[in-house]
Structure 1
Amino acid sequence: MDVEPFALERWFARFEHDADIMLAESGIRSLDAARFDRDPGELGYVIPTNGDPAFRETIGDRYDRPADEVLFTCGAQEANLLAFLALVGRGDHAVVVTPTYQSLVSLPAAFGEVTTVDLTPPEWDLDVEAVKEAIRPETGVVVLNNPNNPTGKYLDESTVEAVYDVAADAGAYLLCDEVYRLLAEAPLPPVASLGEFGVSTSSVTKSYGLAGLRFGWLAGPREVVDAAWNWKDYTTISPSQFGQHLARQAIESENDILAVNRELAAENRAITREWVERHDLSWFDPVGVNGFVTVPEGFDSGESFCRHVVEETGVVLAPGEAFGHPDRFRIGFGLATDELEAGLARVDALLARHG
């Protein structure tokens, strides 16, 4: 089994440590641990290893599923890995809507075959018929990321339901990575609540600002969750005791946390939108905290532009090549507003020098 190098993570590994401002971060700014009770007691394994049953029941309620149809994981990244091991680990075929977070393409490609269906710019619309045509008899899963990373496109309810129907009609599961769902002002029903073929992954990383907890979950049909749990015995065994302890508190106070985070995202989106327009660039006005912006004139590609930015200003942006679009770059605007403004000002100065 071969897996493609994770282009975005390699880019971060190269530049992030020595940079001053991270304008490529894909989540909301991090919360301080001081706001939580930080004593989980004895730091043993979480028992049972799929997560605390009462907490799984709390998470399951939002998907109209019982506790046994929820598995706690080390972030959404592990949830997606386990889902793919369960659904395409036998060499099956997957249909993946792109552009998307690379692991949602590269992981199923490592285990089986992948057919991609592209969102159509500039609105990043999805042709449901194209998804239907891509499905084969051996297709095990159709994959969405909604709201989408990197474009910020939030496919509407009717489109998601239509994709679910074409997947279910073919006996395939619809897996949706929904880590940005709760940053939307009006979140759609999660895919795991749509029926027996719906699978959702999420975490407290992107919407809550708790990336360091490495706490996420998988919700879906019992047979998928059980198969994923079987694989988890060989990965992290149990979720983090500390992560579960703090994540439970975050969920209990999520209305307050999400209200503040949505307000921050809206304010920063407006600032970034003005910056994009001022430089005659274009993007699709995003849901979440990521924008996929056209490369300014005078630069050969997204990677060329982002390299100039980080080497000359100490600001990290994400090249569009990491998402299959060398004519764009991803900007993350979920950080603190003053830091966002400082980073944009540095890029302003670079564009003035290169203009």
Structure 2
Amino acid sequence: MDIEPFALERWFARVEHEADVMLAESGVRSLPASRFDTDPGELGYVIPTNGEPAFRADVAAEYGREADDVLFTCGAQEANLLAFLSLLNEGEHAVVVTPTYQSLRSLPDAVGETTTVDLEPPAWDLDLDAVADAIRPETTLLVLNNPNNPTGRYLSAETVRALYDLAADASAYLLCDEVYRLLADDPLPPVASMGERGVSTTSVTKAYGLAGLRFGWLCGPPEVVGAAWNWKDYTTISPSAVGQHVARQAFDARDSILAENRALAREHRELTRAFVERHGLDWYDPVGVNGFITVPDGFAAGRSFCERVVREESVVLAPGDAFGQPDYFRLGFGLPTDELEEGLARLDDFMQRHA
């Protein structure tokens, strides 16, 4: 099995360490550990290794499912990997909606074969006929990220239902990475609640502001979750005991945490929108905390723009070619307010010099 290098992670590895401001972070600012009890008792394996049953039952209830329909994982990244290993084999095919977080395209392409269907700028609409045309007899999986990273596009309930129906009609599954879903003021029902062909993955990284826990889950029909658990025996075996202990507390306090983080996202979206408008740039007003912004005039592509910004202002942005869109760059506005304001002020200075 071969897999291509993760372009965004390699970019971060090269520029993030010595930069002053990380303005490409894709989640909400991290909550302090002092907000939680961080002592889980003995630091052994979580037993059973798919996660504590009562906690899984409570998570499953959010999807209208049972405890055994949930598998706790090391973040959404592991949840997605286990899903792909469970739902794709050599010779099988996946349809992936792009642009998207690279692992949602590269992992299925490493396991099976993929066809991509692009969201169409500037509104990042999805052509359902193009998705239908991409489905083959050997298609076992449709892959979606909603709300979308990097564009912030939140496809409607009607569109997601149409995708689910396309998957079900093909005896395939619809896998939706929903890490930003709970940052929406009015979240759509999760895909795993739509029927036996729906699989949801998520984590406490983005909407909860708890990236360091590395805690997430996969929810779906029993045959998918069971196969994923079988693969998990060969990856991380069990979720982190500390991660589960703190995630349980965050889940119980989710109403207050999510309200706080949604308010921060709204405030920071306004600050970022003002920057976009000041400089005559374009974006699609996003759900979540990622803005996908057009490259300013005078720069050949997002890569050269981001290179100059990090060199001259010590501010890290994400070049759009990491998502297959070289005419854009991604700006993450979920970081602490003072850091966002500092980063935007430096970008203002940069833009004025290069106007």
TM-based fold match above 0.5: yes
Matches within 5 A, 1:294-305: 294-305=294-305
2:340 equivalent in structure 1: 340
Letter in 2 for 1:323: F
1:112 equivalent in structure 2: 112
What whole-Å deviation, never above 9, does each CA across 1:309-340 have from its counterpart, x for those lacking one?
11111110000000001000000000111211
Equivalent residues of 1:183, 1:261 under 8 A apart: yes
Equivalent residues of 2:91, 2:138 under 8 A apart: no
1:94 equivalent in structure 2: 94
Q: CA deviation at 1:91?
A: 3.5
2:237 equivalent in structure 1: 237
1:328 equivalent in structure 2: 328
Q: Distance in 2 between matches of 1:57 and 1:90?
A: 34
2:135 equivalent in structure 1: 135
Q: Structure 1 residue 283 and structure 2 residue 283: aligned? A: yes
Q: Distance in 1 between matches of 2:112 and 2:293?
A: 32
Q: CA deviation at 1:18?
A: 0.8
Q: Structure 1 residue 248 and structure 2 residue 254: aligned? A: no
Q: Structure 1 residue 202 and structure 2 residue 202: aligned? A: yes
Letter in 1 for 2:154: Y
Q: Which runs of 5+ in 2 are unaligned?
A: none
Q: Distance in 1 between matches of 2:69 and 2:89?
A: 20
Identity %: 73
Q: CA deviation at 1:226?
A: 0.5
1:22 equivalent in structure 2: 22
Q: Distance in 2 between matches of 1:7 and 1:238?
A: 29
Q: Structure 1 residue 189 and structure 2 residue 192: aligned? A: no
Letter in 1 for 2:317: L
Q: CA deviation at 1:224?
A: 0.4
SS at match of 2:201: strand
Is 177-186 or 336-345 further displaced after alignment?
A: 336-345
Letter in 2 for 1:281: L
Q: Distance in 2 between matches of 1:92 and 1:213?
A: 34
2:316 equivalent in structure 1: 316
Q: CA deviation at 1:298?
A: 1.1
SS at match of 1:292: strand
Q: Distance in 2 between matches of 1:215 and 1:316?
A: 26
What whole-Å deviation, never above 9, does each CA across 1:274-309 have from its counterpart, x for those lacking one?
100110000000000001000011111101000111
Q: TM-score, normalised by structure 2?
A: 0.99
Letter in 1 for 2:145: N
Q: Which runs of 5+ in 1 are unaligned?
A: none
Runs of 4+ in structure 1 displaced over 3 angstroms? none
Q: Distance in 1 between matches of 2:134 and 2:200?
A: 21
Equivalent residues of 1:132, 1:167 under 8 A apart: no
2:77 equivalent in structure 1: 77
Q: TM-score, normalised by structure 1?
A: 0.99
SS at match of 1:159: helix
Equivalent residues of 1:102, 1:323 under 8 A apart: yes
Q: Structure 1 residue 61 and structure 2 residue 90: aligned? A: no
Q: Distance in 2 between matches of 1:72 and 1:282?
A: 39
